[in-house]
Amino acid sequence: MASHRKSRPTGTRVAGIRTPALATAALTSVALLSQSANAAPEADDKPSLEEVEKKVDDLYRQAESATDKYNAAKEKTAKQRKRVDTLLDDVAERTQKLNEAREELGSFASAQYRTGAAAPDTATFLLADTPQDYFDQTQLMDRMTGRQKVAVDDYVTQQSETMKKRQEATESLETLTDSQDGLKTAKATVQRKLADARELMSKLTAEEKARLAAIEKEKRAEAARKADELARQQAAQQKAQDEAAQQQDSGSSSGSSGSGSSTSTAPADSSYATKADKALAFARAQIGKPYVWGAVGPGSYDCSGLTQAAWKAAGVTLPRTTYDQVNAGTTVPLSQAQPGDLVFFYDDVTHVGIYIGNGMMIHAPKPGTYVREESIFYDGESAIHSVVRPA
């Protein structure tokens, strides 16, 4: 007899016994979507061009900061080495004097030996580990002649001063070692930052490098526009000062009180202008020379090395680092910047250029570049920290 049981449609069994066809397709789709979702972050792992540019700029700035620390450590090390050399020369000189004093005492000991004299026992004194204790214990000085006392006094003085200088030299050598370690650390930091920047740039495609160049060109155009704007402001301000001065002179000649004076700060005096001209002439002669971190010329410079050398040519001594140079003069408003003034950048004061007027400066920008004229707004107005007038 035929069975009346209806056959079950395929795929209607309980899940886990038989996988439904529809569910299989759905699970396949979910799996593919999951794979796509997992793959998406890999595509997004690569930073954008703007992020790369910012990272590279940050690395160069960090390298400049480390360069300043290197420059400071190098200067400290040089001073410490000079001090050590001076102390070692002093120790050598005092040791020679000590030996001479010892020889003179030795002559007394020899005379005692030849004559058989029992006192004073100079030979025993010379062999003593602590001559001063020997004096105290034997009252040797009471039994010496005047000439012997002078010789012994000289010996004790030379020995004391020599021991003191030797201790100073030892401590200075330890300090020198610490300075050299700091120098090595700063140097390694600079090299690491620059290597990281080069590695980032090496990963860019030709197309990305071209886009970066286009972005840089736009930034330079904007910086030039801001420089022109500042130049117009300074020209207008100078004109107002000149007119105010003329009114004051006119008022004075007619007996007036001359109340039309300007509230603006007077321009730099002629002596400063003369020095600034010399500094700028030197700086212009360096245009085209490469930036090399830690360099002070004559073949290459870093930023503070250039400004230091330029003002040295004008007879003014500036400190070596940017964060010391920023305190080596009078701070003036940007609107009143004069040729020769130093323009500092960033909150941590890690870059400096020398102002030439009209919103422009001469500076040594960063590794891979050359000393050049450029707008002081090259990295945006917010990057400008302060303007300082040296001398």
Among 325, 355, 321, which Cα is nearest to 337's? Answer: 355
Is 363 part of the annotated catalytic residue set? Answer: yes
Question: If you search the block for the tokens 């495609």, which residue do you land on?
Answer: 205
Catalytic residue among 94, 363, 366, 385: 363
Identity of the residue numbered 204: L
Per the DSSP assignment, residues forming a β-bridge with 374 are 361
Q: What angle do CA 224, 225, 229 make, to 5 degrees?
A: 115
Is 351 part of the annotated catalytic residue set? Answer: yes
Q: Residue 88: is it exposed, middle or buried by C-beta count within 10 angstroms (0-12/13-18/19+)?
A: middle
As a three-state string, the secondary structure of 222-246 is HHHHHHHHHHHHHHHHHHHHHHHHH
Catalytic residue among 61, 351, 366, 389: 351
Identity of the residue numbered 99: N
Is 385 part of the annotated catalytic residue set? Answer: no
Q: Where are the beta strands (DSSP E) in 244-348?
A: 330-332, 342-345
C-alpha span between 131 and 176 (Å, rounded): 33
Catalytic residue among 194, 303, 306, 354: 303
123: Cβ–Cβ under 8 A, 6 or more apart, which residues?
109, 112, 113
Among 190, 214, 174, which Cα is nearest to 60's? Answer: 190
Give the SS3 label for residue 387: strand
Q: Residue 360: is it exposed, middle or buried by C-beta count within 10 angstroms (0-12/13-18/19+)?
A: buried
Q: Which residues are catalytic?
A: 303, 351, 363
